[in-house]
């Protein structure tokens, strides 16, 4: 795998706040992390674009979760692209690197020449937060709508969290002089912090199919601040989002200098997968010997492949399930 020259602010999520507007946000740039995610599979171009968008959204949203937490984004649909799944693993300690992974399941025979988002049919967009052992994962869902995965994420925050949220994203293949073509992505996320809590229902929404939109959640001075920040973000250019010549801090000054942007420590992120032989064994521990027999190949083995990183596991069926005959064969 070949990459271009690594830039200091690549694969970094930079949190910031606009002090004059009571708005927080993140700037993210993905380069090697995204290229490594996409290199795990030979995706058609439309699927690559969807996975790239989903990975960028995951990086922007994931930076807000606490240490040792996991955030997952999922799309389930009846379209040619049946599923997109991403995971963001926050660091276990302050200052460490976060990990991100993603993959898509699709029916290549049903893919069309239409836009990438059109390959997703009726379905839902979900965000899941796992706080670790002993806790119940949180899940919120919203219908697929709005014309992009970013719009689905905005709708999720309006519906489930009642937080006005805006994304501006850019992603695609790029190359530098003397370098090979590879994927890059960059984006900005804005989120208005509410001063008071209010309750809304779907019938209040002005979005597609009556869904709540960010504009439904703000009015008065808060609404003016939110609209002004969005108008400024509307002026951003794709090359500014992706870089490589504009640093994230320079981008914030260009866009929001009158809003008094204040940046915090950046969070580096890399491709990373948590699959292991031990996890495979744990997932199979609920099955009986009869069930394991049904999974056994003609060669007398049980095999499993990780969809995220392509790791292949080849296991002795006698060591699997809750009726394992032999537990001494390398369970890690």
Task: State pTM to two decimals.
Answer: 0.86
pLDDT band at 176 (very low <50, low <70, confident <90, very high): low
- What are 271's strand-pairing partners? 100
C-alpha to C-alpha distance for 332 and 109, rounded to whole angstroms: 40
What topology is assigned to 277-319 in CATH?
CBS domain Like (3.90.1280)
Structural domain boundaries of the chain?
12-271, 277-319
Check residue 10 and report its DSSP letter.
Answer: T
In whole angstroms, what is the distance from residue 298 CA to residue 303 CA?
11
3-state secondary structure of 239: helix
Give the per-residue pLDDT at 177: 64
Asked if residues 67 and 91 have their Cβ atoms less than 8 Å apart, the reply is yes
Tell which residue, 186, 238, 233, 237, has the closest CA to residue 214: 233
For 83, phi then psi, to 5°, come to: -155, 145
Does residue 23 have a pLDDT over 90? yes
318 in Cβ contact with 327 (< 8 Å): no
Q: Give domain 12-271's CATH architecture.
A: 3-Layer(bab) Sandwich (3.55)
Where in 175-234 does DSSP place strands (E)? 182-192
| pLDDT at residue 195 in the model | 61
Give the tens place of pLDDT for each residue, 82-121: 999 999 999 989 889 999 999 999 999 999 999 999 999 9
């Amino acid at each position: 795998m070949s990459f271009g020259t690594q830039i200091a602010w690549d694969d970094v999520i930079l949190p910031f706040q606009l002090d004059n507007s009571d708005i927080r946000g993140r700037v993210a740039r993905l380069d090697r992390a995204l290229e490594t995610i996409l290199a795990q599979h030979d995706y058609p171009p439309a699927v690559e674009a969807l996975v790239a968008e989903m990975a960028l959204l995951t990086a922007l949203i994931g930076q807000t979760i606490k240490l040792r937490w996991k955030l997952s984004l999922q799309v389930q649909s009846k379209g040619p692209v049946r599923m997109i799944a991403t995971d963001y693993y926050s660091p276990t300690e302050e200052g460490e690197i976060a990990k991100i992974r993603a993959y898509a399941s699709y029916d290549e025979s049903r893919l069309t020449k239409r836009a990438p988002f059109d390959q997703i049919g009726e379905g839902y967009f979900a965000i899941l937060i796992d706080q670790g052992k002993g806790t119940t994962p949180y899940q919120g869902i919203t219908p697929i709508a709005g014309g992009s995965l970013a719009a689905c994420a905005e709708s999720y925050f309006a519906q489930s969290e009642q937080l006005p949220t805006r994304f501006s994203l850019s992603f695609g293949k790029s190359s530098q002089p003397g370098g090979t073509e590879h994927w890059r992505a960059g984006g900005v996320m804005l989120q208005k912090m509410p001063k008071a809590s209010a309750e809304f229902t779907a019938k209040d929404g002005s979005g597609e199919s009556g869904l709540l939109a960010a504009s439904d959640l703000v009015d008065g001075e808060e609404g003016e601040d939110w609209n002004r920040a969005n108008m400024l973000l509307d002026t951003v250019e794709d090359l500014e989002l992706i870089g490589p010549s504009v640093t994230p801090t320079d981008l914030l000054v260009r866009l929001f200098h009158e809003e008094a942007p204040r940046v915090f420590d950046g969070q580096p992120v890399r491709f990373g997968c948590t699959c292991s032989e031990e996890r495979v064994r744990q997932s199979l521990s609920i099955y009986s010997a009869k069930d394991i027999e049904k999974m056994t190949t003609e060669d007398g083995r049980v095999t499993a492949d990780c969809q995220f990183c392509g790791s292949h596991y080849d296991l002795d069926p006698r060591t699997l399930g809750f009726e394992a005959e032999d537990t001494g064969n390398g369970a890690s």
